[in-house]
Structure 1
Amino acid sequence: MLSSLISAIRGSDKTGEGQQGAKGTTIVLTSDLPTMSDFGGDPFIAFLSTFPHRIVRPILKKYFKPQLDEEGRPKFVSYGLRRIESILSREFGEENVVVAHPETLNRFVGDETRLIGISSHDPLGFAYVSRTYNSLLGFGGDSVNYFYFRQLMRHPVIQNRNKEKTKVMVGGPGAWQIKEMDLQHEFGIDILVHGDAEHDLTNLVHDVLDGKKIEKEVVMGPVDPEKDNIPPITKPASYGCVEITRGCGRGCRFCYPTTRKRYSFPIEFVMKEVEVNIKGGVKSIFVITDDIFLYEVQPRFVPNREKVVELFSKIAQFPGVEEIHLSHAAMAPVVVDPKMIEELSPILLEKTKRRLNGEPYVTVEIGIETGSIKLMKLGMRGKALPFDVEQWQEIVDTGLGILNDNSWYPLCTFLVGSPDETEDDTLATLELFDKIKDKKLLYVPVLFIPIKGTSWEREKCVGFENITELQWEVISSAWDRNIKIWKREDERILKTIGFFFYWTYLRWKYGAKSIRPVMKFLGLSNFPLLKSRVPTPQTGIKK
């Protein structure tokens, strides 16, 4: 049945991937607007999609204007969607697979469409940053990501399809959120897919096209990149994304990537994807990895300086590459091999447009998470390897010093409300803040969220309504430091005005425990009413 369907489509339509009119393309792939957008080529602007839509949607609107080719297909889409496109095109033929923008779905979905595949990233706004800062603000509606995912699922083309003939399949890293909130039926999703697609997806799609009965929820089998013949992308991805490693292995209990087999993609594979992106009109390259220092890593997580430097040198030297973005890194490898940072820095500083006080700098996301050795031992001991976890605070302080000396100013996350966190653990994080107070970084405190598929998936979700005063202190101290590092002195008055206005709301919503940290944020910690009962980070003894 499948082969005759494909043959009929190939025989009756010689125009390939172009506009299909009422017939439609057999397999149509799409995603919500934020996931589809490239935010002017800056992946860090995309973080705004995690904030309430009424506040930031007017700012982001200009980035959501479709960039289409002559046949109405988006020029740039998310890397995950491009990977799915390459897998399915190899199996079913390019003429039977198309990626469509949400605003042009009607051009490609028609009578002969059998599958609408939707990639989800943060569909309900449950990612760490989304939930933390939507909860903190408390107004402005759902996150931008949720707003536009809901809009996509209500699209007339999806709602009015022939539901017997055309199936809707949703996958991607955000699929767990839909299951968690039991929204599969409400969104009209026929098949919810969890896990990496490279091993099982083609068999699943064969079954859909053959009209076989399929479970409403499907878990993909584990992928072995060495055996599963993963194809490189064939069309440009947003930001010029290329995948250099997959998996991690450090064993953090709150993190999904640690469950995947660690693998470094051959440099030839990476450079093929670099070429596809640059020839497709992208001017930057964004390396996708759970840790850039895992590339061809040696035993006990000792970084392979030669291979890492070679990789980034080749990317930087490729004609047309104007900028290189980094995704994630770990702190311990920086301390293991400071010379690696010294050798990488001139390569990356030449390929960055980021400036602080007029000087170029490199940034990358690093999960510090806590200053507590106890919490490190309980949930993220592997972060310290190859060092002893007892040295964690020293590793962080030393690593930040090495990075700063080479003009790297990382974005560092700190988990608030980890399982089994006590006042002593929170104080340890505040002690770490004091230890690194002279370092340049962007502090990003995030509330703990149990993510499906991780060791801590059954732990309690943390909300602002039940965090302690000391945990408030971590959040307010973090953003106070950010203002001092990243804002000009003459802009501090704006912070003060804004937070005095907002303080009354925080007091009303979260109660008295939020007052002292917010006042400290405003630089008013010496106010007489605040001088009693303040636990000190050094001793925890109440004054």
Structure 2
Amino acid sequence: MNTIDIVITSDRTMITNHHSKEFLGFVATAPPIALPEFLWMYICCPKPKVDEFGRPLEAPYGLRKIEAALQNAGFSAYIIDPDYLEKYVNSVKILMIGHHDYFAFGPPSSEWWLLTKKEPINRRSFIKLMESKAVGAMRKRGVKIVVGGPAAWQWLWEPELVDRWGIDLIIEGEADKAIVDLTQKLLNNETVPKYVSVGAKEVPSIDEIPLIKAPSVNGLIEITRGCPRGCKFCSVTLRPLRHIPIDRIIKEIDINISYGIKHIVLHSEDVLLYGASGIEPNPDAVLKLHLEIAKKARGIDSMSWAHASLAAIVYSQRKYKLITNVSNIIYSDIGQKYLGVEVGIETGSPRMTKIIMPAKAAPFKPEEWPNIVEEAFAIMHEHRIVPAATFILGFPGEEPDDVLKTVELLDRLKNYRSIIVPMIFVPMGALKSSEGGITGLKFSVEHAEAMRVAFWHTIKWAEDIMNNFYLNKRIYAPLRLLLKAFMWYAKQKVSKVEKTMLPRLETRELSLLSLESKDTSVFSCME
């Protein structure tokens, strides 16, 4: 093991299991506020269990796929915890690094950074990794350095760091198949492009996607890839929808269970579209999947969904009572009391819905979007499904009235248990070359009001969720205490902002491209 040819790794904000609570990972997208950095890291990114070789028990699912693809091809490749990289400095030939948000340009990191002008923890942690003694020694030895993952596009915004850190290859997109040939070329010292993008026509087929060989963080298992809705701001919709067969899903669940991982996260851009041929749910396929998982009830404690679309929630419940039937399986057979899921509100404006994401509401009309959102929240509340929801500010072409429509919708959601987080538009997907958002948001009174309403909504429900659902076990008491301390601090600061800053707030431009300026942040009293 001390002579691994290919080391796969990331920084501490990625190589962690977030206390077995995946949503705590979002804390790593913020700078430490009101707490020392080490306590902030304790909340979101505790060190994982590792073996004597530095291999973490759990690792990010995407890295596990790359590890499996390379091992299947005969390469000596393993995921190694960042604290153990020095063991392999003298033997490794290729260092591969993946990340969800290398430089904090993605949501919600960019929001925290823009509003506080403090670097989020994930960016600081990644830079610390790249400047570490171990990575520096590998670079000096001539080790090839490959970076990829969902945030590969961010390297295009940091060309000086590509040179400074000696990056040999940046690969964007689904790399399960492409990484094998590129790795062989690098080992043979053949020339490879500096930047490789795996397009929609080059993505691996189902049979070309490898099964993981070791546990994923919190038991995350993908059930689909791609999305058919075509939202212009999303890069996932650029790839075709593919469904992972149930037998392959169960095999990966079995791998996690065999290592003692007792949680399952079903990963999909829309769990309710599993087995569907388009945007209309296939209730039989969804029920069959959950029934097969329920057979593993003795080996698991709980499960959650990565994402579900609000339109699919409404349509499937109206037509098939699918939410009722699936939640009955989860609560009765698996024995858990609630289901967590991420959902996207994006906007409360029918006009913006029609322009940016017309199929997000399908099979309903874009004009119905606000009503669909509220109905979906009511359905989730009734079925003890706890959503972490997002909405986006700063879309290209956004007008003040569009933001006010979002504020009106947020007010309609106040009685439904949920976390609602504002995000600032990031140029991705079909809007990759667009201006605005994090590259130049005209932050207005309307934006501030949307953030204010979302904050108090989340504060209202966060304690209920912590005490009764998400962190209600005794083992999580220290985490609850720290999070409640942060919430108390945040309430005091936001109350101060409401009294002293919002009444005199004027429209101003925010941009990650000018963060080195000496201007104060929008909410400077949060610092």
Q: What interval of TM-score do these two structures reach, taking the shorter chain for normalisation? A: 0.7 to 0.9
Shift of 1:70: 3.6
Contact 1:507–1:514 at 8 Å: present in 2 too? no
1:193 aligns with 2:175: no
Find the residue that maps to 1:387 and give its secondary structure: coil
1:454 aligns with 2:433: no
Structure 1 pair 480–197 and aligned structure 2 pair: CA distance change class (3 A): same
Q: Among residues 12, 30, 46, which one is paired with 2:9 in the alignment?
A: 30
Q: Which residue of 2 aligns with 1:405?
A: 382
CA–CA separation in structure 1 for the residues paired with 2:484 and 2:183: 55
Contact 1:34–1:148 at 8 Å: present in 2 too? yes
Q: Among residues 443, 448, 455, which one is paired with 1:479 in the alignment?
A: 455
Contact 2:219–2:261 at 8 Å: present in 1 too? yes
Contact 2:394–2:441 at 8 Å: present in 1 too? no
Q: Which residue of 2 aligns with 1:9?
A: none
Shift of 1:495: 6.7
CA–CA separation in structure 2 for the residues paired with 1:344 and 1:486: 25
CA–CA separation in structure 1 for the residues paired with 2:339 and 2:277: 25
1:469 aligns with 2:462: no
What is the CA deviation profile of residues 100-119 of structure 1, one whole-angstrom value per residue up to 9, with x for unaligned ones?
111111223324x2211111
Q: Which residue of 2 aligns with 1:316?
A: 294
CA–CA separation in structure 2 for the residues paired with 1:108 and 1:67: 19
Shift of 1:498: 5.1
**Structure 1: runs of 5+ lacking an equivalent:** 1-17, 355-359, 516-543
Q: Which residue of 2 aligns with 1:415?
A: 392
CA–CA separation in structure 2 for the residues paired with 1:234 and 1:78: 12
CA–CA separation in structure 2 for the residues paired with 1:120 and 1:371: 31
Output aligned runs, 1:167-316, within 5 Å.
167-182=144-159, 183-222=161-200, 223-226=202-205, 229-299=208-278, 301-316=279-294
What is the CA deviation profile of residues 370-399 of structure 1, one whole-angstrom value per residue up to 9, with x for unaligned ones?
111110011000111111111111211222
CA–CA separation in structure 2 for the residues paired with 1:508 and 1:407: 38
1:433 aligns with 2:410: yes
Find the residue that maps to 1:410 and give its secondary structure: strand
**Structure 2: runs of 5+ lacking an equivalent:** 465-482, 508-527
Contact 2:243–2:275 at 8 Å: present in 1 too? yes
What is the CA deviation profile of residues 461-482 of structure 1, one whole-angstrom value per residue up to 9, with x for unaligned ones?
3489731111111110111122
Q: Which residue of 1 aligns with 2:119?
A: 142
Structure 1 pair 116–499 and aligned structure 2 pair: CA distance change class (3 A): same
Contact 2:66–2:175 at 8 Å: present in 1 too? yes
Q: Among residues 310, 319, 326, which one is paired with 1:331 in the alignment?
A: 310
Find the residue that maps to 2:403 and give its secondary structure: helix
Q: Among residues 72, 75, 83, which one is paired with 2:65 in the alignment?
A: 83
CA–CA separation in structure 2 for the residues paired with 1:498 and 1:153: 32
Q: Which amino acid aligns with 1:513?
A: L
Shift of 1:74: 1.3
Shift of 1:444: 1.1
Find the residue that maps to 2:390 and give its secondary structure: strand
Q: Among residues 335, 340, 343, which one is paired with 1:363 in the alignment?
A: 340
Structure 1 pair 83–461 and aligned structure 2 pair: CA distance change class (3 A): same
Contact 2:275–2:285 at 8 Å: present in 1 too? yes
Q: Which residue of 1 aligns with 2:78?
A: 98
Find the residue that maps to 1:44 and give its secondary structure: helix
CA–CA separation in structure 2 for the residues paired with 1:59 and 1:514: 35
CA–CA separation in structure 2 for the residues paired with 1:265 and 1:294: 12
Q: Which amino acid aligns with 1:309?
A: L
Structure 1 pair 204–499 and aligned structure 2 pair: CA distance change class (3 A): same
CA–CA separation in structure 2 for the residues paired with 1:406 and 1:323: 16
Shift of 1:75: 1.2
Shift of 1:199: 2.8
Q: Which residue of 2 aligns with 1:121?
A: 100
CA–CA separation in structure 1 for the residues paired with 2:147 and 2:485: 46
Structure 1 pair 508–480 and aligned structure 2 pair: CA distance change class (3 A): closer
Contact 1:106–1:157 at 8 Å: present in 2 too? yes
Contact 1:252–1:380 at 8 Å: present in 2 too? yes
Shift of 1:282: 0.9
Find the residue that maps to 2:9 and give its secondary structure: strand
CA–CA separation in structure 1 for the residues paired with 2:127 and 2:64: 22
Output aligned runs, 1:485-500, within 5 Å.
485-487=461-463, 499-500=491-492
Q: Which residue of 2 aligns with 1:518?
A: none
Q: Which residue of 1 aligns with 2:352?
A: 375
CA–CA separation in structure 2 for the residues paired with 1:447 and 1:269: 37
Shift of 1:502: 5.7
Which structure has the larger Rg over C-alpha atoms?
A: 1
Shift of 1:56: 6.3
Find the residue that maps to 2:395 and give its secondary structure: coil
Contact 1:371–1:432 at 8 Å: present in 2 too? yes
- Supply the RMSD in Å over aligned alpha carbons: 2.9
Contact 1:195–1:219 at 8 Å: present in 2 too? yes
CA–CA separation in structure 2 for the residues paired with 1:240 and 1:106: 28
CA–CA separation in structure 1 for the residues paired with 2:88 and 2:501: 47
CA–CA separation in structure 1 for the residues paired with 2:364 and 2:286: 21
Q: Give the TM-score, by structure 1 length.
A: 0.82
Structure 1 pair 271–393 and aligned structure 2 pair: CA distance change class (3 A): same
Q: Which residue of 2 aligns with 1:526?
A: none
Q: Percent identity at matched positions?
A: 31
Higher relative contact order (CA 8 A, sep 6+): 2
Contact 1:29–1:81 at 8 Å: present in 2 too? yes
What is the CA deviation profile of residues 464-512 of structure 1, one whole-angstrom value per residue up to 9, with x for unaligned ones?
9731111111110111122233347xx9999787555566678898882
After the TM superposition, which of the residue ranges 153-162 and 229-238 deviates more from structure 2? 153-162
1:343 aligns with 2:328: no
CA–CA separation in structure 1 for the residues paired with 2:431 and 2:485: 44
What is the CA deviation profile of residues 293-350 of structure 1, one whole-angstrom value per residue up to 9, with x for unaligned ones?
1201144x11111111211222232141111021111011111121110011123335
Structure 1 pair 184–49 and aligned structure 2 pair: CA distance change class (3 A): same
Q: Which residue of 2 aligns with 1:537?
A: none
Structure 1 pair 492–257 and aligned structure 2 pair: CA distance change class (3 A): closer
What is the CA deviation profile of residues 433-483 of structure 1, one whole-angstrom value per residue up to 9, with x for unaligned ones?
2333332222111111212x4334322234897311111111101111222
CA–CA separation in structure 2 for the residues paired with 1:129 and 1:198: 27
Q: Which residue of 2 aligns with 1:153?
A: 130
CA–CA separation in structure 2 for the residues paired with 1:398 and 1:181: 43
Structure 1 pair 206–425 and aligned structure 2 pair: CA distance change class (3 A): same
Q: Among residues 67, 90, 110, which one is paired with 2:90 in the alignment?
A: 110
Find the residue that maps to 1:218 and give its secondary structure: strand
Structure 1 pair 443–199 and aligned structure 2 pair: CA distance change class (3 A): same
CA–CA separation in structure 2 for the residues paired with 1:180 and 1:75: 33
Find the residue that maps to 1:472 and give its secondary structure: helix
What is the CA deviation profile of residues 112-161 of structure 1, one whole-angstrom value per residue up to 9, with x for unaligned ones?
x22111112211111211111233334xx421111111111112222122
